[in-house]
Structure 1
């Protein structure tokens, strides 16, 4: 293998922040630990959430409506916290350290939930008339649940992308293997969910809640151990900095050049000469005709080159502008879906 073919060409590094060596990192040698982590994490998540309404009804004397509402609020939080995890991963921590740090929070939450279901003092006392939880015992249970919700927020948005990072997009052979990885990834999710919704629900119903939550807690501990064991084999994408800062730069640069005319030839718009984007860990984006006003941020004028390197608050790359356009598209899509949903709800039956 030639010297230039030893290292990946997608900008990934190893755990020591050195260029990733193809022969020692990534590929299936790293993915088996990621798949093991995902299988155990999903088993833990579904193992404690599938039967959660019954648990709140039985141990905390909550009615069906109250218990369902509490579980719905908790589940909704589990789908909101990935916004936090995704932002931290892309902007500052990177996917590896985001998964690692949030997994620890997840494990603490699982252990606390298990203790609240099994440990005298934390477990609500029960007699023939039912269970009698104190406010402190109820608080311990919900603190555990929302720690789990925060923990899953760092894992859910990162783990599939982190697995994809183990395959060099610029390598034809590795690119073909990436699609196979996603097949195995979703297979791992389904295996974990299957075991959780069958075996663990049976344990919770027929053995005890302590064992029913304890097994998912052990599964989560195994998940984090599996993840850390593979550390020296992983390829890591370098975080690209805050996207909010880049969005503000495009807005400011566009307003500063409000009277500047955008050239008809869009190839004249500013872009870095390097093969990679100036946003670390991201590829260059092609120009589109959406929200043309923001193209002004990429028009290079004489004052932009006076002090050497361009001021990002005055001159932005095409990739940076298209990043803003894409986010705007997502916002418009979300608004359209909300409007359509509202119209369906309000439609007379």
Structure 2
């Protein structure tokens, strides 16, 4: 459960400090809210699909397709997942270039973890009781998107990798993320940020 507290000024009044994409005071009728939050939820859903779709079957790919030993493959997967999670703290041969792509995904996945939920909550004004309730509902949807993305990756993408081909499975993961980032970038003008944060 997420608790959101309103913080008033000394005079008891509540002021929204949201700014738009250009750093100007945000116009609530044109920015923030569910449109911007939906873009963020879609990006998080895609990140889960991409990361889980790759990591669930990665050892099999490294051993079977790249002919790397089981021990080294396990180390690569551990390093990938470690890099993915640790980067959240900071918001040869041709086949080996795949590992560069793998760590690029870890970089992106780690980067999104440190700020996506906070950025999503910024789309709602916690000083407005109606938007405060919407913010709490946003967090419910946020974790729902994480779960659905993981479920899709573990069931559908692993099946595609094993039965259709790794290129299709990994390509679907990458394509999902590219589309999500493109949509998020196109929707950036509707987003707001709050220098003090929403919580």
What interval of TM-score do these two structures reach, taking the shorter chain for normalisation? Answer: 0.7 to 0.9
The question of whether the paired residues in 1 share the 8 Å contact of 2:50 and 2:173 is answered with yes
TM norm structure 2: 0.87
Assess if the C-alpha contact under 8 Å between 2:43 and 2:180 holds in 1: yes
Q: Distance in 1 between matches of 2:107 and 2:178?
A: 16
1:160 matched residue in structure 2: 117
Contact 1:13–1:19, Cα closer than 8 Å, also in 2? yes
SS at 1:136 equivalent: coil
Is residue 231 from structure 1 mapped to residue 188 from structure 2 by the alignment? yes
Show the counterpart of 2:161. 204
Structure 1 residue 237, shift from structure 2 partner:
2.8
Structure 2 residue runs of 5 or longer lacking an equivalent are 1-13
Q: Which residue of 1 aligns with 2:8?
A: none
Aligned-partner SS, 1:166: coil
Give the structure with higher Rg (CA).
1
Aligned partner of 2:37 in structure 1 is 31
**1:46·1:196 contact (CA, 8 Å) conserved in 2?**
yes
Match of 2:103 in 1: 146
RMSD: 1.7
- The equivalent residue for 1:49 is 55
Task: Kindly tell me the number of residue pairs found equivalent between the two proteins.
Answer: 185
Q: What is the distance in 1 between the residues matched to 2:137 and 2:73?
A: 40
Match of 2:149 among 174, 186, 192: 192
Runs of 4+ in 1 over 3 A off after TM superposition: none
What is the CA deviation profile of residues 43-62 of structure 1, one whole-angstrom value per residue up to 9, with x for unaligned ones?
Answer: 11111111001101101222
- Residue 63 of structure 1 deviates from its aligned partner by 2.9
Residue 69 of structure 1 is aligned with which of 63, 67, 75? 75
Q: Residues 282 and 39 from structure 1, CA distance in 2 versus in 1: closer, same or farther, beyond 3 angstroms?
A: closer
Q: Partner residue of 2:174?
A: 217
Show the counterpart of 2:5: none
Pairs within 5 Å for 1:1-349: 9-85=15-91, 135-238=92-195, 281=196
Alignment partners' CA distance in 2, 1:186 and 1:144 = 27
What is the CA-CA distance between 1:138 and the residue it aligns to? 4.4
Partner of 1:124: none
**Distance in 2 of aligned mates of 1:191 and 1:282:** 27
3-state SS of paired residue (1:155): helix
Q: After TM superposition, give the deviation of residue 137 of structure 1 in Å.
A: 2.7
Greater relative CO, 1 or 2 (CA 8 Å, sep 6+): 2
**Deviation sequence 1:273-301 (CA, Å, 0-9, x none):** xxxxxxxx269xxxxxxxxxxxxxxxxxx
Aligned counterparts of 1:152 and 1:162: Cα–Cα separation in 2: 15
Long gaps (5+) in structure 1: 1-7, 86-134, 239-280, 284-349
Q: Secondary structure in 1 aligned to 2:93?
A: helix
* CA displacement at 1:82 relative to structure 2: 1.2
